[in-house]
A and B are shown apart, each in its own frame.
Chain A
């Protein structure tokens, strides 16, 4: 019987703790040996919504929070703890897509601010935020950052067509 098969209302109503523990136990290993990181996944589950994950070796960047109040979060996998990102999140901005390098040092972000989308590069050690212009003009939708932090690929909508812009970073 699968863990999902046990998730009947009755089981949860009588012994929710037991059912959760059993579910986690049975779901702990998938057939091929891939193992969920239980502690981290439980911590992430405390947030109402998490989406658009980006991994950089020991770092996980996600967009999470409640609807309309989402923020970029950066978690160190080995410590299972988020790190502060001063100057990156703004209450009036909606994050769209995020990427992180392997050191958790550079984060690239597309965010929506006052109805317009912009591309920014954040350097964590410097707490600096740099706006990168989209040229020719277009609407950025999604991005990727190479783990070495040197190349940025941005999907940009222009005139009904999606294109990929490639930027080399110093």
Chain B
């Protein structure tokens, strides 16, 4: 059977937009996030998925950009100016905390930007430990750091519970994992 041109076009359109198991692709970041053809790397999402942090080049230096994922609106991060290159951004649930690596004092350092109090909190590491990657827990209670020592990578986890106020995760104890039949 031959397909009419309109039916064929419709099938192609459906095929282009659909992914298996109901996964939906958000329209191109070029259009929504307003970066044109600019390169962006190392994405991080707030726990609720509302905010997107990513790295873009500004004056040739890697700089973290924080945006509302849906509107593309950019949030200012004044405390991070002049501390590029930035790397490995990580966000808490509501995006109150942004953990990342910055360049300070001639070395790469771990900092946490508390956007609620407008403070930049450094996490000093011992001796010649060099941080490579970070991951902040959604509630801000823990930070995992990939460290390089003697050319070997290892991961250490820090409890920040006595240092940071928690960024509340709604229903974290009562909620149910999406798409699963039971709580793990």
Contacts and interface: CB of A to CB of B under 8 A. Distances in A.
Nearest to B20: A130
B184 interface: yes
Contacts of A54: 135, 144
A164 B144 CA distance: 23
A153 B52 contact: yes
- Give chain B's interface residue range (CB within 8 Å of chain A): 35 or more
A53 B122 contact: no
A33 B144 contact: no
A45 interface: yes
Interface string A116-155: 0000000111100011110100000111111111110111
B40 A164 contact: yes
Interface residues of A, number: 72
Contacts of B52: 153, 164, 166
Given A53-B133, A62-B155, A169-B23, A148 B43 contact: no
A46 to B, nearest CB: 10
Contact of A146 (B21, B42, B49, B126): B49
Interface in B124-169: 124-128, 132-139, 142-146, 152-160, 162-163, 169
B26 interface: yes
Interface in A94-116: 101-106
A165 interface: yes
Interface string A21-37: 00000010011111111
A7 B135 CA distance: 28
A166 B142 contact: no
B144 A55 contact: yes
Interface in A32-58: 32-37, 40-41, 44-45, 47-57
A77 B180 contact: no
A62 B144 CA distance: 10
B177 A106 contact: yes
A77 B29 contact: no
Given A3-B126, A34-B158, A146-B48, A151 B69 contact: yes
B145 A53 contact: yes
B9 to A, nearest CB: 18
B155 A44 contact: yes
A15 to B, nearest CB: 20
A167 B24 contact: yes
Contacts of A169: 22-23, 178-179
A149 B41 contact: no
22 contacts: A2-B127, A30-B123, A33-B163, A34-B143, A36-B156, A41-B156, A49-B153, A51-B132, A53-B146, A57-B169, A57-B172, A64-B155, A102-B47, A105-B178, A123-B179, A132-B23, A148-B48, A151-B45, A153-B45, A155-B43, A167-B24, A170-B22
Interface of A: 2-5, 7, 27, 30-37, 40-41, 44-45, 47-57, 60, 62, 64, 77, 101-106, 123-126, 130-133, 135, 141-151, 153-155, 161-170
Given A33-B162, A102-B169, A143-B43, 10 more contacts: A32-B163, A57-B139, A104-B184, A125-B177, A142-B41, A151-B69, A155-B54, A162-B39, A169-B178, A170-B22
